[in-house]
Structure 1
Amino acid sequence: MRIKELSERTGVSARLLRYYEAQGLLQPRRQENGYRDYDEPLVEQVEQIRSLLGAGLTTEIIRAVLPCLAEAASSRYPAPDFVSRVRQERSRVAERLEHLTRNLQAMDDYLDALVQE
């Protein structure tokens, strides 16, 4: 499929899809005329990328994690330094979640106070 179709199917702009490619997150095939050609499995891969970005992971971490996701059921284990990097990233995301949870609670408290007036 062409980039426009992938964009429509995933809700991700063509510009962002090209950025993902530049970051090494997507690897479409190239036709003889230079056009990108996206295989069906890349639809799910784009959705995974969006989900991981939404969780707060960096493109660098995602680039390293994507192959592991594709082979999660295999017996291939990542190197210890990679596991350490993912643990650090997980801690960062957990801290961010705690901060967001506090902000959400503060907003709820504020709204409750407004409604009681």
Structure 2
Amino acid sequence: MAAELGIEAHVLRHWEDVGALTVRRDRNGYRVYDDEAVEQARTVLKLRRVGLSLPEVIAAMAPEKSAAQAVVQAKIADLEGEVARRLQAITFLRHTAECRHRYLDDCPDCAAFVRGA
């Protein structure tokens, strides 16, 4: 299962330990990854790859839709804030790369970027 997902087996065990993944056991105690467990693992992996922490993943997979949506909406807001900060950083860096002033302190535009940070 881990190889199919491209992750280490200990990651699957950890997800199970923290409650992000439910895996059935056979009579001998071996994990059985049925279709439901495989789909659940894929969902956990996708949510982790888009930036959710394991507690957020667990909450996002909660049976109560409104609780899950609240977690996802909060993550969207976090990501949008990060995008805005990165765009500001790009704007600042582009300006500094093209700035005619030798030192950033000498440039009113650079100083304005710094004060706005």
TM range (shorter): 0.5 to 0.7
**1:39 aligned partner:** 34
The normalised TM-score by structure 2 is: 0.62
The normalised TM-score by structure 1 is: 0.62
**1:16 aligned partner:** 11
| SS state at 2:78 partner | helix
**2:104 aligned partner:** none
Amino acid at match of 1:16: V
Change (3 A) 1:44 1:33: same
**1:71 aligned partner:** none
Alignment RMSD: 3.0
2:48 counterpart of 1:53: yes
Q: How does 1:46-85 map to 2 (within 5 A)?
A: 46-67=41-62, 78-79=65-66, 83-85=69-71
Distance in 1, Cα, partners of 2:85 & 2:46:
20
Change (3 A) 1:55 1:100: farther
CA contact (8 A) 1:10 1:43 kept: no
Structure 2's unaligned 5+ residue stretches are 99-117
Percent of aligned positions with the same letter in both sequences?
25
Q: How does 1:78-93 map to 2 (within 5 A)?
A: 78-79=65-66, 83-93=69-79
| Pairing partner for 1:96 from 82, 87, 103 | 82
Amino acid at match of 2:77: S
CA contact (8 A) 2:23 2:33 kept: yes
Change (3 A) 1:39 1:97: farther
Structure 1's unaligned 5+ residue stretches are 1-5, 69-76
Shift of 1:82: 5.5
Deviations 1:50-75 (A, max 9, x none): 2211221121121122245xxxxxxx
